[in-house]
C-alpha cells in the first residue's frame, strides 16, 4: 500500500506550486489569487528508493516497480471554513479522505504574492487552520451524539463505546487541544479511527521558504519547528519554487542544480521520508528476474499481513516467508549466495517484517 497525503493551507502559501513540483505536472493551476484550486487535484508519484535500484541490478530484474504515494492538493481554507466560509465545506469533506495532512505554511516575504490575512506569520496560519478543523469536529460530534442517544439508552455496546470516545474528544477540543491528543486504548483504536475526526489526522508542517533559505531555513521556519516540537509533530523545510524548477530538469541536471543550491537531496525525498515517519511506514521488497518491486507496510506488520498487501490470497493461504535482510542480499550478491551463506530464513506467521526485508511468500491456493 502507499498512502494519501492531503496538501492543505491558507490561500497563496504555495500549495499548488508544491503539488505541481511533486507530481511533475501542471495539473493544479498555480495562480496568485485565493481558491485557484477548486477541485482537489490528485497526483500519484513513485517513492524514490536507491535500495530498489541496487536490488534490481543484482537480480538483473527486467522491470523496477517502486511503491507509490498519493498527494491531494486541497482547496485553500480561510477563517470561518467550519461555518462554510470560502470553500470550507468542500475542504473539510476532502480532508477526511486522506491519511495525513501536509500543512504548507508560508515562510517567505514577497510583496508580489498576496497573503489572505495581509501578513506573514506561519504560526498564526497554523492556528487558523487547526481552529477551523477543531470547530468542524465539535459540530460533527454534537450531531453524532444526538443521533446515538436512543441506542445508548438501549444499552447498545457499540453506541456506548462511541459515546464515550466522542465525549473524550469533546473534552480535548473544548480545552483547545486537537483530538489526536487523546490517549486511546488498543481496544478502542478501531472505533476511534472510525469516528474520522479531522483533528486526529497526523500533521506534517511544510515550511515553504524562499530559495536562499532552502538549505538552512529561516526565522519563520525556526518558529514552525519549535511549534511542531511543542506539539510532538514534525516539520520539513522546502522551497516550492526550487522543487518546481527541479521537476523540469533531467536527473543529471537536477543533481547539479541541487549541489549548486547546497542541498543534499530534493524536497520530495525529505517530504516522503517525513511522511513515512509520521505514519510509521516502512518498505519491503520482492525481487526476481521479472521485476524488483517495493511494497509499503505499517511498522509492526506481521508476515501474513505483509503478504496480503500483494494479494488477499497470499494472506489467507500463508505458509511461510523466505526472508533475506537487505544488507545480506546486497553484500553477498543475491538470493542464491545469501541462501548458501545461511542468510535466508524461513519465517512463520508470527514474524514481524522489518524495513528492507527481501521476501518470497509461500502460500496455499
What is the band of 31 on the pLDDT scale with cuts at 50, 70, 90? Answer: very low
Q: Which of 278, 312, 331 is the last residue of a domain?
A: 278
**Is 70 exceeded by the pLDDT of residue 81?**
no
Mean pLDDT calculated for residue range 277-287: 93
Residue 133 CB partners (closer than 8 Å, separation 6+): 82, 92, 95, 178, 198, 199
Answer yes or no: is 104 within a domain: yes
Q: What is the number of other CB atoms lying within 10 angstroms of the CB of residue 306?
A: 25
Q: What is the dihedral sign for C-alpha 168, 174, 177, 179?
A: positive
Name which of 85-89, 124-128, 170-174, 211-215 the model is least confident about: 85-89
Asked if 200 contacts 180 with a C-beta cutoff of 8 angstroms, the reply is yes
Say whether 235 counts as a known binding-site residue. no
Q: Pick the residue with more confidence: 157 or 40? A: 157
Say whether 239 counts as a known binding-site residue. no
pLDDT tens digits for 87-136? 445 667 778 888 999 999 999 987 665 555 667 899 999 998 898 889 98
Instruction: Indicate whether 37 and 104 sit together in one domain.
Output: yes
Instruction: Indicate whether 256 and 155 sit together in one domain.
Output: yes
Element (H, E) at 295: strand 291-298
Instruction: Indicate whether 356 and 259 sit together in one domain.
Output: no
pLDDT tens digits for 152-168? 999 999 999 999 999 99
Instruction: Indicate whether 33 and 141 sit together in one domain.
Output: yes
Q: How many domains does the chain have?
A: 2
Q: Which of 225, 244, 278 is the last residue of a domain?
A: 278
- Which CATH number characterizes residue 251's domain? 3.40.50.300
Instruction: Indicate whether 206 and 355 sit together in one domain.
Output: no
Which residues form the domain of 71?
4-278
Instruction: Indicate whether 12 and 157 sit together in one domain.
Output: yes
Say whether 334 counts as a known binding-site residue. no
Answer yes or no: is 293 within a domain: no
Say whether 16 counts as a known binding-site residue. yes
Q: Pick the residue with more confidence: 243 or 92? A: 243
Which residue intervals of 27-121 are DSSP H helices?
50-59, 88-95
**Are β-strands 203-209 and 100-107 bridged in parallel, bridged antiparallel, or unpaired?**
parallel
Answer yes or no: is 291 within a domain: no
- Which CATH number characterizes residue 359's domain? 3.10.20.30
Instruction: Indicate whether 201 and 103 sit together in one domain.
Output: yes
Say whether 131 counts as a known binding-site residue. no
Say whether 17 counts as a known binding-site residue. yes
Gap between the Cα atoms of 220 and 208, Å rounded: 10
Instruction: Indicate whether 32 and 173 sit together in one domain.
Output: yes
Q: Which of 245, 278, 311 is the last residue of a domain?
A: 278
Instruction: Indicate whether 206 and 78 sit together in one domain.
Output: yes
Amino acid at each position: 500500500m502507499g498512502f494519501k497525503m492531503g496538501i492543505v493551507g491558507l490561500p497563496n502559501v504555495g500549495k499548488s506550486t508544491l503539488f505541481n513540483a511533486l507530481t511533475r505536472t501542471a495539473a493544479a493551476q498555480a495562480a496568485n489569487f485565493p481558491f485557484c484550486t477548486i477541485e482537489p487535484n490528485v497526483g500519484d508519484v513513485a517513492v524514490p528508493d536507491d535500495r530498489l535500484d541496487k536490488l534490481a541490478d543484482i537480480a538483473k530484474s527486467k522491470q523496477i516497480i517502486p511503491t507509490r504515494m498519493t498527494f491531494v492538493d486541497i482547496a485553500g481554507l480561510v477563517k470561518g471554513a467550519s461555518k462554510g466560509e470560502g470553500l470550507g465545506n468542500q475542504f473539510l469533506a476532502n480532508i477526511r479522505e486522506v491519511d495525513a495532512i501536509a500543512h504548507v505554511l508560508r515562510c517567505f516575504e514577497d510583496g508580489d504574492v498576496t497573503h489572505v490575512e495581509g501578513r506573514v506569520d506561519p504560526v498564526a496560519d497554523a492556528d487558523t487552520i487547526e481552529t477551523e478543523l477543531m470547530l468542524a469536529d465539535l459540530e460533527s460530534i454534537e450531531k453524532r451524539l444526538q443521533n446515538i442517544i436512543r441506542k445508548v439508552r438501549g444499552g447498545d455496546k457499540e453506541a456506548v463505546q462511541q459515546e464515550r470516545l466522542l465525549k473524550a474528544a469533546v473534552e480535548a477540543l473544548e480545552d483547545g487541544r486537537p483530538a489526536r491528543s487523546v490517549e486511546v486504548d488498543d481496544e478502542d483504536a478501531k472505533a476511534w479511527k472510525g469516528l474520522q475526526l479531522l483533528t486526529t489526522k497526523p500533521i506534517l508542517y511544510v515550511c515553504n521558504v524562499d530559495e536562499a533559505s532552502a538549505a538552512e531555513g529561516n526565522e519563520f521556519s525556526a518558529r514552525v519547528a519549535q511549534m511542531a516540537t511543542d506539539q510532538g509533530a514534525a516539520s520539513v523545510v522546502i522551497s516550492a519554487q526550487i522543487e518546481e524548477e527541479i521537476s523540469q530538469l533531467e536527473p543529471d541536471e537536477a543533481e547539479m542544480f541541487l549541489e549548486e543550491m547546497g542541498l543534499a537531496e530534493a524536497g520530495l525525498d525529505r517530504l516522503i521520508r517525513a511522511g513515512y515517519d509520521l505514519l510509521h511506514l516502512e518498505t519491503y521488497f520482492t525481487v526476481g528476474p521479472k521485476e524488483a518491486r517495493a511494497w509499503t507496510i505499517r511498522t509492526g506488520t506481521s508476515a501474513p499481513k505483509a503478504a496480503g498487501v500483494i494479494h488477499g490470497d497470499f494472506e489467507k493461504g500463508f505458509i511461510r516467508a523466505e526472508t533475506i535482510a537487505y544488507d545480506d542480499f546486497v553484500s553477498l550478491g543475491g538470493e542464491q549466495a545469501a541462501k548458501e551463506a545461511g542468510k535466508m530464513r524461513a519465517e512463520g506467521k508470527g514474524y514481524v517484517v522489518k524495513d528492507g526485508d527481501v521476501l518470497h511468500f509461500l502460500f496455499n491456493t
